[in-house]
Amino acid sequence: ELKVEQNPLFLSMQEGKNYTIYCNYSTTSDRLYWYRQDPGKSLESLFVLLSNGAVKQEGRLMASLDTKARLSTLHITAAVHDLSATYFCAVEEETSGSRLTFGEGTQLTVNP
């Protein structure tokens, strides 16, 4: 059974600071997603990482994937309050019809 673990689960940081969220998964997968969710809202797709060594950046967020280490990171640069949300990584199970298995989520709060 595929397990996906994120850490930290809760992150409180000041504006302007940098931090990294980690996502570890337990079985082979070449496809990893990062989603953002605001309270009570839907899941907004941030990044799709399709191969080992993939790196994608959008604004203050950068995601990377190391399939050999089964690790993805979401790096936040110079955080701003608008980034406050819950961030989920999700791994696609190749052998199970492309279902996504989500991590527990990281609740990020950026304080002014």
* Contact positions vs another protein (CB under 8 A): 31, 33, 35, 40-45, 48, 50, 88, 90, 96-105
Determine contact, residues 68/76, Cβ cutoff 8 Å.
Answer: no
| Residue 36 Cβ vs another protein, minimum distance, rounded to whole Å | 11
Calculate the CA dihedral of residues 112, 35, 63, 17 and round it to 10 degrees.
10
| Residue 93 Cβ vs another protein, minimum distance, rounded to whole Å | 9
| Residue 109 Cβ vs another protein, minimum distance, rounded to whole Å | 15
Determine contact, residues 16/110, Cβ cutoff 8 Å.
Answer: no
Nearer to another protein, 4 or 79 (CB): 4
Sign for the pseudo-dihedral over CA of 66, 100, 24, 85: positive
Nearer to another protein, 17 or 99 (CB): 99
